[in-house]
Amino acid sequence: MSNILEDQVAIITGSTSGMGEAIARRFAKEGAAVVVNGTNEDRGKRIVEEIRNDGGKAAFFRADVSSATEVEAMVDFTVEQFSKVTTLVPNAGILGNGLATEISLETWDKTIGVNLNGVYYLCRYGLPKLIEAGGGTVVINASIASFKSFPQHPAYCASKGALIPLMKNIAQDYAEHNIRANALCPGPVDTPLIWDSVKAFPNADSIIDETISMTCVGRLGTPEDVAEAALFFASDQSSFITGASLTIDGGIMT
Amino acid sequence: MKTIDLTGKTAVVSGGGGEIGFAMCEGLAEAGANVIALDINTERVPQDHEKISTLPLDLSDTAGIRSAVKDISEIDILVHAAGVNIAAPVAEFEEQAWDAVFDVNLKSAFFLTKALLPRFQSGRNGKIVFVSSISAKLGYPGLHAYTASKGGLDALIRNLSTELAADGICVNGIAPGTTKTGMTKGLWDDKEKCRAHEATIPMGRMADCSDHIGPLLFLCSEMSDYVTGQILCSDGGLTSVQADFINLELRGGNE
């Protein structure tokens, strides 16, 4: 264990599995206190216990990020537990797949609610705490879907697309408070979500293999690949970088 | 803050005697790498660092690159930090100046990569990082060859990444924002101009050379093994607001 995030207190939404979980574990390993969030209480509590057993600082807060009230409560909980907030990692995301003309309005609203509003709510209630702490970082987990389409992912792509300008706006407006905001844009990463995602593809059986062959490096990304980039943006190593997006996709977009 | 350990790695840095280039040599050396600084004038490279050695190389002579680097054995990291700038209005911009800028900024980037490619250790993750510029994305009067060469470099980064992944090499770029070096002295020496410029940068200041070390080390380490073909802006937020050259005085005025 090293300590490059020592004194940081991070909220990582959607961290009971996949990339969020990897980010929470990585940050805790670097000395940050982390709030693990999700709706699966069992998984969340288990992750927290494991982090604590490794000597890390962690707490679980159950919240649906599409609820502003619950997100505000999570921010307050974090301050109660760890006395401040320095690092926001809005990561929670859902797919809401289907053709644009066929998904229900509820599916559209819920996807936008989690993937876009959830990010905004964490910023809305978290940024004042970062200002109080004298500065901090926002690391938004967007997607290569911010830049390109996927079959039957209209709500997902639209919500992820909106995250980049939101991130840039936060970078611009809060730089004077010593707050940096950046985005991660992962490509095909081996998480539970990607296996749901492929179901919307016409070539669902072969798309993962085809995707792997479309990357330059010839493999799916791992949640840990993304966690390393999150660590870079949350640490002083990126101290002059704000308003940037980093694509972590093994070269699939090049 | 010791975050990245490059002990046992060998890094070659072109333009290692330049201000950004030497800062990168020092950053890599402090992370534990053995560094070979290439420069047309190796006397520009301070000689007091035990992990930094030098090799003379004139990047404007692309035909001579292969023989100049023939004694380099195995490497893990190549950083192309060499860059020159010649600025003039279109009407006064000579072909010779255009070629001089393109030879160092773009052509040599490719041919140095070509010459050193066989030296990358097989079976180990190789990293190539090109120092591009935010001027690949933002216009600036007079910088015709510079901006075009950096734009070409961005395209080269993407293209090399597609081919070199098969050799286990990630290819990425850093696009520094306006950095306090001799190249930008005219800007930061003039307090009023500098203040106007810094007001357009969200983080409120120009970069120091040291600001680009963190992103360099990230792109040279295993932290970025799934990142290739990317250009990371180290610019205090300048390109995200696209505000820099809205400043008319910097643009040379709108007379």
Tens of pLDDT, residue by residue over B171-184, are 999 999 999 998 88
A81 burial (CB, 10 Å; 0-12 / 13-18 / 19+) is middle
* Average of per-residue pLDDT across B20-40: 97
Q: Is the pLDDT assigned to residue A132 strictly greater than 90?
A: yes
SS3 category, B15: coil
* Average of per-residue pLDDT across B214-228: 97
CA–CA distance, A115 with A38 (Å, rounded to integer): 13
Q: Is the pLDDT assigned to residue B249 strictly greater than 60?
A: no
Q: Å from A132 to nearest chain B CA?
A: 18
* Average of per-residue pLDDT across A127-154: 97
* Average of per-residue pLDDT across A82-101: 97
Q: Is the pLDDT assigned to residue B248 strictly greater than 90?
A: no
Confidence tier at B244 by pLDDT (50, 70, 90): low
Q: Is the pLDDT assigned to residue B123 strictly greater than 80?
A: no
Domain segments of chain A as ranges:
9-248
- Find, in chain B, the residue whose alpha carbon is nearest to that of A26: B223
Contacts with A142 (C-beta within 8 Å, 6 or more apart), sequence order: A160, A163, A164, A167, A183, A184, A185, A245
Closest of A51, A42, A47 to residue A18, by C-alpha: A47
Q: Tell me, what's the pLDDT at B139?
A: 86
Q: What percent of chain B has pLDDT over 90?
A: 80
Query: E-assigned strands of chain A?
Result: 9-12, 33-38, 57-62, 87-89, 136-141, 179-186, 245-248
Residues of A with catalytic annotation? 156
* Average of per-residue pLDDT across B99-108: 97
Torsion angle in degrees (nearest 10) through CA of B204, B208, B209, B210: -100
**CATH code for A9-248?**
3.40.50.720
- Between B161, B229, B237, which is nearest A171 by CB? B237
Count of other CB atoms within 10 angstroms of residue A40 = 13
Interface mutation target, options A8, A212, A232, A252, chain B, most CBs of B under 10 Å? A232
Q: Is the pLDDT assigned to residue A204 strictly greater than 80?
A: yes
Cβ(A253)–Cβ(A147) under 8 Å?
yes
Q: Is B214–A236 a contact, with Cβ atoms under 8 angstroms apart?
A: yes
Top CATH class of B10-246 equals alpha beta
Q: Is the pLDDT assigned to residue B254 strictly greater than 80?
A: no
* Average of per-residue pLDDT across A37-60: 98
CA–CA distance, B45 with B55 (Å, rounded to integer): 10
Taking CB atoms and an 8 Å cut-off, how many pairs form between chains A and B? 128
Q: Which residues pair with A221 in a beta bridge?
A: A189
| Catalytic entry in B146, B147, B171, B175 | B146
Q: Is A53 on the interface with B (CB under 8 A)?
A: no
- Interior angle at CA A92, CA A89 and CA A94, nearest 5: 155
CA–CA distance, B230 with A249 (Å, rounded to integer): 10
Give the tens place of pLDDT for each residue, A215-249: 999 999 999 999 999 999 999 999 999 999 999 99
Q: Which two tokens stand for residue B147?
A: 């901006």
Q: Is the pLDDT assigned to residue B127 strictly greater than 80?
A: yes
- Find, in chain B, the residue whose alpha carbon is nearest to that of A182: B237
Q: Tell me, what's the pLDDT at B253?
A: 41
- Residue B63 DSSP one-character state: G
**Phi then psi dihedrals of residue A56, to 5 deg:** -90, 170
Q: Tell me, what's the pLDDT at B255?
A: 34
Q: Which residues pair with B207 in a beta bridge?
A: B179
The strand pair at B34-39 and B10-14 is best described as parallel
